[in-house]
Amino acid sequence: MIYITNGYLTDPGSGREGYYDILIRENRIAAIVRRGTSLLDILQPKGMSAETEQREEPERSGQAEQLEQIERIDATGLVIAPGLVDVHVHFRDPGFTHKEDIHTGAKAAAKGGFTSVVLMANTKPAVDTVETLSYVLEKGKETDIHIYSCANVTKGMKGAELVDMEGLSAAGAAGFTDDGIPLMDEEKLREALRRAAKLGKPVSLHEENPALIANNGVNAGKAAAHYGIGGSPREAEISMVERDLQIALTEEAALSIQHISTKEAVELVRQAKKRSSHIYAEAAPHHFTLTEEAVIEHGTLAKMNPPLREEADRLAIIEGLKDGTIDMIATDHAPHSTEEKAKPITEAPSGIIGLETSLSLGIRELVDRGYLTMMELIEKMSYAPAKLYHLDAGYVEENGPADLVLFHPKQVWKVENFASKACNSPFVGEVLPGVITYTICDGRVVYRKE
């Protein structure tokens, strides 16, 4: 058992906020009580007063044994929140394990406060068969956190033939996505949404029209001009978001716009959500933190799809997070090797790692600047993504999952020494607030700050 005392609980699921003590028994939360409640009162059998129980020698002996077995965590100065949930990560397994694998990805997640993650399906082979999906999920069970995975929408991510969505759903697919490649065939998307609706699973879309992109990963603006390349124009995202939202408005499936990057796309989602309750959107920490200036400063370490845009786009994403247009914060954790990122700007792969910096960036950019409360930030990093993907996660309740993150919101740390295999981050060397001290998953401490 674990007994956490003196911490400040922030639970978006129930709206509970304040100083509480939490008792964990096995893999569930056994009790949530006001700070200062006697542990003996918590442990005693219901219906028995403490006075009566003290006269019962066997009961007292049993309690003494329980007390000796309890690990106590003094959470003074710490926020206690539900374990974070990231529904957009790349662990590169199978096929690209020199970048990351499921075990190292899980370690990075735990260090970042995440107890549940949903893997993207653009592996090699792609997750378009039950066999590959089963491989990923079984390997995930060997880690310390909860590993879920999407399956592809189309076979081989080629956009031509839909996968066996029913079979993959039965085998445990959390949702469907061809993330990394947009689905250009409108009828295929419409059919996928209809089948996904019957299965109760979301479809998540990467929104960039390749026909409009000269060089991906770099905004077609100041950054592209700096490197003397064509870059990726904002219209590549806007046109796809506009088309796909129009299709989604006629269907009943949950559709999520992934890693939104433009102010126009934010507004399109805002208007669509007024007409449908099935529209969702996610934002990555780098898109509400950085602009294309970072690509000029950091080169390939700030190259990603969709690219960093302009300050007006960054502010629009923050406004979307504030007013609920954007439901979730997801890292798009995308590890690459140092050798790959050392290539020229037009040859290096797009993407950055994000699991270990996500909470801190949310605190610095959104909470400390007054855009979101801590409760609202945690909601977008736990409860909301878990709800979309129907995961038993993202809340703190008695008899609920014993998945928690404990962190100091004001203490600072320097970005270095990643648990991930990769270190491709433009935030290396920065000092950020939000020191994670414990991550608890399934009732076990899976990360403890040294």
Return d(Cα 356, Cα 338) in angstroms, integer. 18
Nearest to 174, CA basis, from 194, 145, 203, 154 = 203
User: For residue 94, is the peptide bond before it cis, meaning its omega torsion is within 30 degrees of 0?
Assistant: yes
Catalytic annotation, pick one of 313, 332, 403, 442 = 332
As given in the structure block, the two tokens for residue 328 are 């979730």
Return d(Cα 420, Cα 114) in angstroms, integer. 13
Contacts of 417 by beta carbon, 8 Å cutoff, 6+ apart: none
Return d(Cα 100, Cα 292) in angstroms, integer. 26
Contacts of 187 by beta carbon, 8 Å cutoff, 6+ apart: none
- Helices (H), ranges, 141-234: 165-170, 186-199, 222-227
Count of CB atoms within 10 A of residue 248's CB?
25
Clarify whether 332 is annotated catalytic.
yes
Return d(Cα 65, Cα 60) in angstroms, integer. 9
Pairing of strands 79-82, 404-414: antiparallel
As given in the structure block, the two tokens for residue 152 are 């592809």
- Which residues are identified as catalytic? 332
